[in-house]
């Protein structure tokens, strides 16, 4: 397994990819690999001990008529094939807390719940204080299971949130 962090994200070509790039830079570009989830298989996870999964709740793929299924939906069957032993996972998600206040970063929650069912070790939870929303599948045990980012209405907070979150991850990723 690589000592590098594997950052698997989707969709590509939008804000989720931009945030994944910022996270890689915060961790250290030589310490993390960026991997689009649409091109990934479970075996790709075997290369990493520390893995970050990133997604958007509603993204470019939702509005692009040429795509039939979002990247994470295509990857979903692969979750059953991942060897979770010895791996540590963290999650981040993009959402719009104004337009989609009742579904804020729900995809992070859906992915997180799959990981929990599989017995995965998950780190990088974030308190819900400081976020305005009405409901989220990503709130587990009164905190977000991963880092919420709202590039639509709070882009000025993104860099600070990433910096604080990745600083915590560096202490738990071995």
Domain that holds residue 21: 2-172
Q: What pLDDT does residue 59 have?
A: 44
The number of domains in the chain is: 1
Mean pLDDT, residues 110-134 taken together: 96
pLDDT at 101: 87
CATH number at residue 69: 3.40.50.360
Q: Specify the 3-state DSSP secondary structure of 145.
A: coil
pLDDT in tens, 51-80: 999 998 754 444 444 544 588 888 999 999
Burial degree of 83 (CB within 10 A; 0-12, 13-18, 19+): exposed
The predicted model scores a pTM of: 0.92
The pLDDT value recorded for residue 165 is 98
pLDDT for 167: 97
pLDDT(168) > 80? yes
Dump strand ranges (E) for 25-115.
32-36, 48-56, 88-94
């Amino acid at each position: 397994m690589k000592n590098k962090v594997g950052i698997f994200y989707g969709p590509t070509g939008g804000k989720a990819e931009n945030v994944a790039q910022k996270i890689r830079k915060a961790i250290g570009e030589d310490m993390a690999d960026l991997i689009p989830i649409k091109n990934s298989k479970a075996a790709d996870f075997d290369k990493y001990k520390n893995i970050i999964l990133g997604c958007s709740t509603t993204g470019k793929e939702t509005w692009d008529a040429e795509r039939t299924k979002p990247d994470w939906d295509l990857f979903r069957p692969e979750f059953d094939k991942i060897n979770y032993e010895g791996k540590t996972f963290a999650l981040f998600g993009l959402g719009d807390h104004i337009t989609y206040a009742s579904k804020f970063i729900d995809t992070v929650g859906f992915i997180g719940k799959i990981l929990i069912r599989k017995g995965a070790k998950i780190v990088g939870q974030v308190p819900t204080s400081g976020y305005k929303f009405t409901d989220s599948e990503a709130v587990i045990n009164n905190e977000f299971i991963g880092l919420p980012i709202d590039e639509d209405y709070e882009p000025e907070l993104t860099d600070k949130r990433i910096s604080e979150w990745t600083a915590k991850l560096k202490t738990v990723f071995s």
